């Protein structure tokens, strides 16, 4: 099992940028994939981006071209670089790691003002 801690959220104006971090403790190399999800008030949690063990990435259509997921194996950290932020990106952002089970972080709040 692994533990995840997100950070980097905050308040930003529309058009701005933020970089979220997800620090993973435990066996980083046992992880098959790390995903970012988000949950806006009153809405279901939704997929944002994924990076799998081989380095392949995929994104939700709503963030494609604006968000970039990457990882630093030396720091056991996965990042979500978010550019050209929109008010509709406002949500709590969670990272999750898939091994034989799925582990979730506690989330970090991102608020984009118009």
Residue 47 above 90 pLDDT? yes
pLDDT for position 54: 86
DSSP string, 55-88: S-EEE-TTTTTTEEEEEEGGGTEEEEEE-S--GG
Report the percentage of the chain scoring pLDDT > 70.
100
pLDDT for position 53: 87
For 98-113, what is each residue's pLDDT tens digit? 988 999 999 999 999 9
For 51-109, what is each residue's pLDDT tens digit? 998 899 999 999 999 999 999 989 999 999 999 999 999 999 999 999 889 999 999 99
Alpha-carbon distance of 21 to 5, in angstroms, equals 8
Indicate the Cα dihedral angle 80, 81, 87, 88, nearest 10°: -40
Please report, for residues 42, 43, 64, 89, 105, the alpha-carbon distance to residue 22 in angstroms, rounded to integers and kept in the order given. 24, 23, 20, 18, 8
Q: By the 8 A CB rule, do 1 and 103 touch?
A: yes
């Amino acid at each position: 099992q692994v533990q995840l801690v997100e950070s980097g959220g905050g308040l930003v104006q529309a058009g701005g940028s933020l970089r979220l971090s997800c620090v993973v403790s435990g066996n980083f190399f046992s992880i098959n994939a790390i995903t970012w999800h988000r949950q806006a008030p009153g809405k279901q949690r939704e997929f944002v981006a994924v990076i799998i063990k081989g380095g392949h990435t995929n994104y939700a259509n709503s963030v494609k071209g604006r968000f970039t997921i990457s990882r630093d194996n030396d720091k056991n950290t996965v990042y979500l670089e978010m550019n050209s932020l929109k008010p509709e990106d406002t949500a709590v952002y969670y990272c999750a790691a898939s091994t034989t089970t799925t582990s979730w972080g506690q989330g970090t709040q991102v608020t984009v003002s118009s």
